[in-house]
Amino acid sequence: MSSTFPQDFSSVYGPVASWRYGRSLGIDPIGAVSTCSFDCVYCQLGEIEDKTRDRRIFVSTSRILRDLQAFAVDGVDVISLSGSGEPTLALNLGEIVAAIKADTGKPVVVLTNASLLGDAGVRQELALADCVAAKVDAVGDERLRRVDRPVDGIGFAEIRRGLLSFRREYRGRLAVQTMLLGRWPDREQADYIAFINELAPDEIQLCAPTRPRPLVHELAARGGRPGERPVYAVRHLKAVPPQVLHEFAARLQRETRVPVRGPRTWGSRGTAAECDDSSA
């Protein structure tokens, strides 16, 4: 059963200018209460209100299609599913992706934290998307717990297995999105590179947090336009020196065959649109 929503809630927002995918119209399959299997320290949604790994229908597919009617999709490059939490928690994920593709004819991108990819049903639904950006902020449990703060029962071994299975099955474009909060020790960088070489994604999206973290959940934090300043209370995260990102990117380029991309303003306080991957 889907939830009730505040009167002004729309499951569609934007479009936002994404450094990764161009002009992107956002779909929020989660709804007004932020819900995720992670509670990342840098999450643009603030502290996650409902921390869970249980899938359910949050926003009905018909409601999403109805909200979509108010938006012109001409001039939009992609439709992205992320919004107020982890989109693979939506039990109607596959139905939403298929319906949006049929309705708009636009490529669909899903931004996921990859924590549910151990579930074959989730992988099957996610595989309907044209592009998937999967979060890999850690290659071990210690950093995963410190940065992504998953709910109990989610560890890196499970995420790794799920991602490798998804890579074998998926015919679309798979990106790994990694948020750096500082320089990783050499050993961890080597472990990450080994995992990337095993996974063989189509690209790595390397980023550092530039969006301020809201103190409480605000629907307005789902998207953002260039130059737009938040109108809600926020906490700024410590900036990562651009050199840290450049050095890691250079090593990745030397030791993997995977292209590395990052926003224009690596490591500086850019606008929201320059680093749009806080959510999932």
97 binds ligand SF4 per the rule CB under 6 A: no
175 binds ligand SF4 per the rule CB under 6 A: no
- Return the number of the residue (46 or 201) whose C-beta is nearest ligand SF4: 46
279 binds ligand SF4 per the rule CB under 6 A: yes
Q: Which residues contact 271 (CB under 8 A, 6 or more apart)?
A: 210, 224, 225, 226, 227, 228
Q: Are 23 and 15 in contact (CB under 8 A)?
A: yes
Q: Are 22 and 78 in contact (CB under 8 A)?
A: yes
Question: Could you give phi then psi for residue 134, rounded to 5 degrees?
Answer: -110, 130
Provide the minimum distance between the beta carbon of 245 and ligand SF4 in the complex, in angstroms, as a whole number. Answer: 18
Q: Which residues contact 62 (CB under 8 A, 6 or more apart)?
A: none
- Return the number of the residue (238 or 257) whose C-beta is nearest ligand SF4: 238
Residue with tokens 């924590």: 115
113 binds ligand SF4 per the rule CB under 6 A: yes
Provide the minimum distance between the beta carbon of 38 and ligand SF4 in the complex, in angstroms, as a whole number. Answer: 4
For 272, counting Cβ atoms within 10 Å of its Cβ (0-12 exposed, 13-18 middle, 19+ buried), the class is buried
- Return the number of the residue (106 or 213) whose C-beta is nearest ligand SF4: 213
Provide the minimum distance between the beta carbon of 31 and ligand SF4 in the complex, in angstroms, as a whole number. Answer: 13
Site string for ligand SF4, 129-158 (x = CB under 6 A): ------x-----------------------
The DSSP code sequence of 223-272 is ---TTPPPSS-EEPPPPPPHHHHHHHHHHHHHH-SS-EE--TTTTS---G
- Return the number of the residue (18 or 279) whose C-beta is nearest ligand SF4: 279
Using CB under 6 A, count the residues that bind ligand SF4: 14
Site string for ligand SF4, 21-60 (x = CB under 6 A): ---------------x-xxx--x-x--x------------
Secondary structure letter of residue 56 according to DSSP: B
Helix axis angle, 156-169 to 186-199, nearest 10°: 30
Provide the minimum distance between the beta carbon of 39 and ligand SF4 in the complex, in angstroms, as a whole number. Answer: 5
104 binds ligand SF4 per the rule CB under 6 A: no
- Return the number of the residue (204 or 207) whose C-beta is nearest ligand SF4: 207
Q: Return the bridge partners of 27, or none.
A: 12, 81
114 binds ligand SF4 per the rule CB under 6 A: no
Contact residues for ligand SF4, defined by CB under 6 A: 36, 38-40, 43, 45, 48, 85-86, 113, 135, 278-280
